[in-house]
Amino acid sequence: MPKFTVEKVTDLNAKDSFDKIKQFLSSDADLKMLDSSYECQFEENKLTGSAKGKKFNAEMQVSTDGGKSKVAITVDLPLMLMPFKGLVENTLNKKLSQLLG
């Protein structure tokens, strides 16, 4: 499966960024439409998480970047969904910008 990464640096602290992304990955309606079977797992102490389903996998990591935080989400799409990579990437960027400011 081909991978791509979306990154966003925000003024929020790492814990607040993690909490917002955790909520997003757990309940976003657009992600559920893409693959209703995916399930999320998070490691609060490491500020990491994953979403795994039949149609895609995603890994999330939040790190401290100076006084800011950096969110990186790596998405694994199957070959049959690669024509939608641009749409998925743009949507993810837009949602991260809305969530993290």
CA atoms within 13 A on the CB side of 94: 7
**pLDDT value at position 45?**
96
Domain 3-79, CATH class in plain words? alpha beta
**pLDDT value at position 51?**
92
User: Shortest CA distance to 38 belongs to which of 87, 93, 82, 75?
Assistant: 75
**pLDDT value at position 66?**
82
Torsion, Cα of 57, 29, 80, 78 (10° steps): 0
All structural domains of the chain with their residue ranges: 3-79
**pLDDT value at position 78?**
87
> What is the average pLDDT across 70-90?
89
Question: pTM value?
Answer: 0.88
**pLDDT value at position 1?**
66
> What is the average pLDDT across 63-78?
91
- Antiparallel, parallel or unpaired: β 39-43 and 48-52: antiparallel
H or E stretch at 40: strand 39-43
